[in-house]
Amino acid sequence: MDGLAPADAAGNFQRRPSQFAGRPLEPLLQQATATARPPWLIIGRTCPWAHRTWLVHQLRGLQQQIELVLVDPDPHAGRWVFAEPRLHCSSLQQLYRLSGADPQQRATVPVLLDAGGADAQPQILSNESAELVQLLNRWPADGALALEPTADLEAIEQWSRRLQEPLNDGVYRCGFARNQEAFERAETALFGALEQLEQALSAQGPWLCGFRLTLADVCLFPTLIRWEQVYAPLFGCSREPLWRYPALWDWRARMLDQPGVLDTCDPAAWRRDYFGALFPLQPSGRVPGGPADAAELKALLQAPVPSRMGP
């Protein structure tokens, strides 16, 4: 567990910082858009942090400007691997090293990479999802959806502060808690955040910041779309089912209807990778059944709530 999920002395999960986070956004955007060929956005289907960036890539139609590259987890080696070698690298870890990363730096997704040219070394531009969604939202693209409207900047930032630790990271604080006290602290904060969301969406909606889809919605969706498939059964986030939050339930269905969003959802891969690869949580490697694809997932999650409540 120490390698997978480090913890503090009280048993609380502590996410490691990244070597590539914290660069000023505008110079980073200038560098990224000036690459000799389209940069790579490297993601894993399973990772919710990568899912954020994939959503922005889809919603803004950046397929021509930025090449999407998929990696898959190798649970035996504990690393992300390419289906076919890239720059003579078979794993993301090798590509990190080729790009000059510190040998102690974990090779995580998402990562935006300048693949370089014939004589140029590849360079990691960023691997921090919170920065990357902002960068991708500002990427020059005629007529593309703007997910950070000026009028909503303060609200987006407020939601980011309110949701990141208790909810988006909170599911991991529950799943990787080392003792009951740490779990209960994380679980209380998690369901408190869900209550805040329910109240806000009930009062204003249909989106977190009002009438427009923004980065606040994008950053919340990857956590909530995995709820029934992963976080409730595997991480213990099961105090209340999501259908007990009707405004939030409707918000999630609304997100699934946005162009390109369904294409980013792979419930079978989520279950396979979480249940099959997180050995400390699921030593047997058993993978439960569920929706086979995104269409089945959508049908399940958009069913009327009363029909899912039972007698």
User: Residues 160-217: pLDDT tens digits?
Assistant: 999 999 999 999 999 989 899 999 999 999 999 999 999 999 998 899 999 999 999 9
Distance CA 146, CA 115 (A): 27
Please give the structure tokens belonging to residue 113: 């990479």
The CA-based angle 141-71-256, given to 5 degrees, is 55
Domains identified in the chain and CATH numbers: 25-137 (3.40.30.10), 150-309 (1.20.1050.10)
| Phi then psi dihedrals of residue 230, to 5 deg | -135, -60
**Would you say 194 and 245 are in contact if contact means Cβ atoms under 8 Å apart?**
yes
Residue 54: predicted pLDDT: 98
Question: Residue 150 to residues 184, 262, 279: CA-CA distances in angstroms?
Answer: 38, 27, 44
Reported pTM: 0.92
